[in-house]
Amino acid sequence: MGIDLHKETHTAVMVNCWNEKLEVVVIENMPSEFKKLAEKVNRKSNHLGLEPIYGLENAYGYGRSLAVWLIDKGYIVKDINPALAYDQRKSAPMLRKNDEHDAYCVATVLINQLHALPDAKPKDNEWTLAQLVNRRDLLVERWYPF
């Protein structure tokens, strides 16, 4: 399952080992929607006798909460470097740029390079510190504009 992550929505594309598109799912970026995604993926993968593996393009940005949720539920989650998905998109004879095609590119990278991709491991301490630094910067800008 390749997932193109955004602030508001996530687009997921399921492909098989021949890179054929099997399912497209669009969810909102909120925990209540994550369960819907997992249920749809499980129904389809159980029907085919497969174990789902999720590939998230940059699992530490907009997809961090989804990555944490999936890992917590016991799913295999791989972090896909955006440069790899970009190279996959550029390799097509006609350049297409939309969320579904981007998710398809993430899925094909996941299948073709599964053995070399790192597991997604969101680090809570680093994320929390980044949030605090961003919040501090916003407060400083608001109260001490230069």
Domain boundaries, the chain: 2-120
In this predicted structure, the answer to whether residue 95 has a pLDDT above a threshold of 80 is no
Looking at residue 93, its pLDDT comes to 72
Mean pLDDT (whole number) for 137-143: 83
Q: Does domain 2-120 have CATH number 3.60.15.10?
A: no
Q: Is the dihedral of CA 135, 136, 141, 144 positive or negative?
A: positive
What letters, b where the CB count within 10 A reaches 16 and e where it falls short, cover 16-46?
eeeeebbeebebebeeebbeebbebbeebbe
Mean pLDDT (whole number) for 33-53: 90
Single pTM value for the model: 0.79
End-to-end CA distance of the chain: 47
Mean pLDDT (whole number) for 54-72: 89
